[in-house]
Amino acid sequence: MRFANLTTSVFLTIFGIASQLAAEEGLKAWSSTEPFPSQTVYFPGTETLHPDEMRVVACGTGMPQPRMKQAGSCFLVELGNGDKFIFDLGKGSSDHIAALGIPTDQLNKVFISHLHFDHAGDFPAFWLTRGVNAARQPLFLWGPGGGQNPKWGIRGWTETIKQAWAWDVATRESSGDPRSTQLTVTELDWKKVNNLFYEENGVKIYSIPTIHIDQSIGYILEWNGLKFAYSGDTAPNKWFLEHASGADFAIHESMLPPELWLEKYSMSPQAAVMSGTQGHTTPRAFGKIMDIARPRMAVASHFQNDFDTASLMEKEIRVHYDGPLSLATDFMVWNITKENITTRMTVPNPETYPPPAQVAAEPPIVDENTYQWDPFSFSGFEPQTSAVTNEVVKEFNEQQGTDIEPILSNIPFK
Ligand SMILES: [Zn+2]
Ligand SMILES: [Zn+2]
């Protein structure tokens, strides 16, 4: 009996190996000089976007609470026609965008869902670093208009930012391209449903109201038969259900379940329920929304996506939804065509330098508003150390064949 079992087992093993070998007969050795294409990671700057393809990079998927791993909300949408759109610029997200190495002038269209800092906090940094990142084209910004107070709209908000950073702009404009700080702001009526406000180059963008205090909106982008939907922050709302239904790619906020707010943030039960379920969407309700909307890919964002939270999030979402799902984290990237949606992780470049300028520079504007140095600063230059600076400039001129005068460090010798 023992012998019979052994024979059977030897026979099955040999049979198994034989069938495996038969299945592998078509194998060829992979070239040792051609790279084997990675299926799980995306290296920015290495892939051409197909004319029919949409690429979405999560540059921020986190919460107001600061953390290195997840910036505030920010999604970059790149289209095969060359257009690029940024939806929200939550705190920390502009460094993540920079890590993709995209020429700054190509990133000139920003759409803000609402003016909480986890969605708009990096706007000043994004705007002000354009000049030092070789931007030479104006920036365009869209966002909700004011509710009870017109000053609370995105135009009033931007004017306040301009005032707050007036010194930075004035001091840099005296030497930089004046267009890099130019800003065109368009306010959107936050109560308008399916509000078509952008139509250019085959791209249509609509705003929808959301339920997240007043004055918050979501966005729907349509291009080339593909529909992208972004909820911003919101409790489950009928407008998203109606207008994002059947989207190819739908990002909707989803908070941690309220019990995790108790555990992770040491909140009171009252605060946990208010923060996690009111004016926001629970993961179970996210599942219900996606079960009704049925996108080709449902993306849950705006929660701390960690080893101990992801499985709970998915369990809650799966109570009502069984379709394609991504639990977003920073640098997740999706390539979307009519046939396929692939989900990968971006390998960002933490040591990025700005790509070169795309258009010729314009000279700085010199008029009565041009920043004037106080002579007191000039009085601080000193001959010994200024001579060293002049030596460096002289060597540079010799190397580069230029004739640049060290205007400031020459002062002690005049
Ligand atoms: Zn918010
Ligand atoms: Zn938020």
Residue 13: what pLDDT? 60
- CA of 155 from ligand 2 middle (Å) equals 20
Does the pLDDT of residue 214 top 50, yes or no? yes
- CA of 122 from ligand 1 middle (Å) equals 14
CATH architecture of the domain 41-346 equals 4-Layer Sandwich (3.60)
Round the average pLDDT of the chain to a whole number and report it: 93
- CA of 372 from ligand 2 middle (Å) equals 41
Least confident window among 11-25, 129-143, 149-163, 241-255: 11-25
Strand partners, 217: 209
Residue pair 97/126 in contact (Cβ under 8 Å)? The answer is yes
- CA of 231 from ligand 1 middle (Å) equals 11
Rounded Cα distance, 213 and 278, in Å: 10
Q: Could you tell me where the DSSP H helices lie in 24-145?
A: 93-98, 117-120, 123-128
Give buried/exposed letters for 216-249 (b at 16+ CB in 10 A, else e).
bbbbbbbbeebbbbbbbbbebbebbeebbeebbb
- CA of 55 from ligand 2 middle (Å) equals 23
Residue 310, both tokens: 């992801």
- CA of 63 from ligand 1 middle (Å) equals 9
Residue 1: what pLDDT? 47
Does the pLDDT of residue 409 top 90, yes or no? yes
Placement of tokens 């593909």 in the chain: 226
| Ligand nearest to C-alpha 216 | 1
Q: What is the mean pLDDT of residues 263-289?
A: 94
| Ligand nearest to C-alpha 210 | 1
Residue 146: what pLDDT? 87
pLDDT digits (tens, 9 = 90+) for 344-363: 999 999 999 999 998 898 88
The model's confidence at residue 341, banded by pLDDT at 50, 70 and 90, is very high
The model's confidence at residue 144, banded by pLDDT at 50, 70 and 90, is very high
Rounded Cα distance, 75 and 97, in Å: 9
- CA of 18 from ligand 1 middle (Å) equals 60
Q: Provide the pairing of β-strand 74-79 with 84-87.
A: antiparallel
Rg (CA), the chain: 27
- CA of 99 from ligand 1 middle (Å) equals 25
The single-letter DSSP state of residue 30 is P
- CA of 205 from ligand 1 middle (Å) equals 21
- CA of 254 from ligand 2 middle (Å) equals 10
Rounded Cα distance, 233 and 90, in Å: 12
- CA of 60 from ligand 2 middle (Å) equals 11
Give buried/exposed letters for 358-383 (b at 16+ CB in 10 A, else e).
eeeeeeeeeeeeeeeeeeeeeeeeee
**Environment of ion ligand 1 (residues, CB < 5 A):** 116, 233
Does the pLDDT of residue 3 top 60, yes or no? no
Strand partners, 199: 204
Taking the CA atoms of 256, 241, 219 and 75 in sequence, report the sign of the dihedral they define.
positive
Does the pLDDT of residue 8 top 60, yes or no? no
Give SS3 for 356.
coil
Phi, psi of 399 (to 5 degrees): -65, -45
Does the pLDDT of residue 97 top 50, yes or no? yes
| Ligand nearest to C-alpha 62 | 2
Share of the chain above pLDDT 90, in %: 79
- CA of 258 from ligand 2 middle (Å) equals 16
- CA of 107 from ligand 1 middle (Å) equals 24
- CA of 114 from ligand 1 middle (Å) equals 7
Does the pLDDT of residue 171 top 90, yes or no? no
- CA of 212 from ligand 1 middle (Å) equals 7
The model's confidence at residue 102, banded by pLDDT at 50, 70 and 90, is very high
Rounded Cα distance, 122 and 127, in Å: 8
Residue 2: what pLDDT? 52
The angle that helices 166-173 and 154-164 make with each other, rounded to 10 degrees, is 60
Q: Which of 384, 376, 392 is nearest to 406 (CA)?
A: 392
Query: Where, residue-wise, is CATH 3.60.15.10 in the chain?
Result: 41-346
- CA of 346 from ligand 1 middle (Å) equals 26
Least confident window among 177-181, 302-306, 407-411: 177-181
Rounded Cα distance, 239 and 235, in Å: 11
pLDDT digits (tens, 9 = 90+) for 63-94: 999 999 999 999 999 999 999 999 999 999 99
284: number of Cβ within 10 Å: 18
Least confident window among 9-18, 274-283, 344-353: 9-18
Torsion of CA 99, 104, 107, 112, to 10 degrees: 70
Spacing of C-alpha 83 from chain mean position? 15
Does the pLDDT of residue 228 top 90, yes or no? yes
The model's confidence at residue 14, banded by pLDDT at 50, 70 and 90, is low
Residue 176: what pLDDT? 75
- CA of 239 from ligand 1 middle (Å) equals 18
Strand partners, 198: 205
Rounded Cα distance, 308 and 262, in Å: 15
Does the pLDDT of residue 7 top 60, yes or no? no
| Ligand nearest to C-alpha 253 | 2
| Ligand nearest to C-alpha 303 | 2
Does the pLDDT of residue 233 top 80, yes or no? yes
Q: Provide the pairing of β-strand 41-42 with 341-346.
A: parallel
Q: What is the mean pLDDT of residues 155-171?
A: 94
Rounded Cα distance, 186 and 364, in Å: 26
pLDDT digits (tens, 9 = 90+) for 298-327: 999 999 999 999 999 999 999 999 999 999
Q: What is the pTM of this model?
A: 0.92
- CA of 210 from ligand 2 middle (Å) equals 12
Q: What is the mean pLDDT of residues 371-400?
A: 96
The model's confidence at residue 178, banded by pLDDT at 50, 70 and 90, is confident
